Amino acid sequence: MAVRPITIIGHKALHQPTKKVREVTPEIRTLVADMFDTMDAANGVGLAANQVGVRWRIFVFDCEDGDDVQHRGVVINPVLEKGAVPPGDPDPREGLEGCLSVPGEHYPTARSDWARVTGTDLDGNPVVLESTGGTLARALQHETDHLDGHLYVERLSPRYRDEARRDIKRRAWAERGLSKWDPAAGEAEDV
């Protein structure tokens, strides 16, 4: 299929809730195939449709759960359930999170250790993903946040939020007229 440009923080598509998919059309199938290609080219573990500028409630993923089992797939119209998020600053060694829409940056982000997402696949079959720990639990929360119009940097504690603001300002994407980056053309840090 094709690698699509990834929207960068500040782009309005990242801050709008997505729309429920009513029918899986050939265009939706192409979008999902392109999302897998884009995620792979960017070395990501997940990608939401609005990160490639499309407002459908879809995400793809490729990451390990808490038992080191690799999971790869798509969820259409995901609904998230999660446990409590621990208060305070997360351990920087265990809670480091990044995002393809905030390329090159990573910050400790408090997330629940347990998450479950329900939805469907491209053929309308039920999908239930549940993870305790591991990257999958974090990714389920992260990607669903995207579809709700939120970025992980909005979930940072005040200490790390200030650091993220400084780093994003230093990157000066908006000042350089950048709203997207092409993972097929190079690493995110090159943006």
Ordered by start, the domain boundaries in the chain are: 6-190
Please give the structure tokens belonging to residue 87. Answer: 């208060």
Q: Could you tell me the pLDDT band of residue 186, with boundaries at 50, 70 and 90?
A: low
Confidence class for position 58, pLDDT limits 50, 70, 90: very high
Six-digit token pair at 4? Answer: 């699509």
Hey, which residues are catalytic here?
A: 143
Is residue 99 a known part of a binding site? Answer: yes
* pLDDT computed for residue 191 by the predictor: 56
What's the length of the chain?
191
What pTM was computed for the model? 0.94
pLDDT in tens, 82-130: 999 988 888 888 789 999 999 999 999 999 999 999 999 999 999 999 9
146 is in an annotated binding site: yes
- What CATH number does domain 6-190 carry, 1.20.120.10, 3.40.50.12780, 3.40.50.720, 3.90.45.10? 3.90.45.10
- 48-52, 154-158, 171-175: range with lowest mean pLDDT: 171-175
- Which among 2, 27, 9, 3 has a CA at the least distance from the CA of 98? 9
Q: Mean pLDDT across the stretch 162-184?
A: 91
Q: How far apart are CA 48 and CA 59, in angstroms?
A: 4
Comparison of pLDDT for 51 and 1, the residue scoring more: 51
pLDDT for position 1: 75
User: In whole angstroms, what is the distance from residue 184 CA to residue 181 CA?
Assistant: 9
71 is in an annotated binding site: no
Say how many CA atoms lie within 13 Å of 95 toward its Cβ: 22
Listed range (127-136, 143-152, 153-162, 173-182) with the worst mean pLDDT: 173-182
